[in-house]
Copies of this chain bind each other. A is one copy, B any other.
């Protein structure tokens, strides 16, 4: 049985403020929970209605009723498990490799897709500005499909970090150099900007090379979505390796 105070606690983890306060986040769905359990991320407790699952994971799993699952779930149709995990401590950035940095990306779906892209392209660290949407937001977790356990995600002040960094900083801009022109170096930082405003002025001032994806269609298409632009630029970085 899940007691009232625990229900309240789990529900509170839907909010960033409480996630940061407790250093924990909540994940739903058998597939993603299993992926996280198999990763370096520590499970605090995993509630499940599935007897077999609980038997198999006795150390952290706890059997609950369908009624209790409904109480702690934020989904209309809860999917067997709700896991509480400890937010992992970020690892140091490997400056001999590529890092992706996000300057205030706000949409959970975009962040989730970008985490998945980092995983696919072997980008170890994703550096997020403090105003980027929280990666432990339930909508982000849903969009990452488990990739969140394989990418080191760090929130920091981009300006401070860039000022202390010696690696080339690439930024995506509408008016940058065509990205196909010159091969990409073996390491660096790729900065992607906010959905509506792009990269902020203070970060732009620290970018050492502005790149753009050329537009082949009519000049009326407004811009590429930040997640699709990240996909193309990561492919450009990796294809020149």
Contact = CB atoms under 8 A, between A and B. Distances in A.
Interface of A: 109, 113, 116-123, 145-147, 150, 180, 213-218, 220-222, 224-225, 227-229, 231-232, 235-236, 238-239, 241
Q: How many copies does the complex hold?
A: 2
B117 A150 contact: no
Q: Report, nearest first, the 5 A-B pairs whose CB atoms are least far apart.
A: A122-B217, A122-B216, A228-B231, A119-B221, A232-B235
Given A113-B225, A121-B217, A123-B217, 14 more contacts: A116-B221, A117-B224, A119-B221, A122-B216, A122-B218, A150-B217, A216-B241, A227-B227, A227-B228, A228-B228, A228-B231, A231-B231, A232-B232, A235-B236
A190 to B, nearest CB: 14
Contacts of A213: 235
Nearest to A235: B232
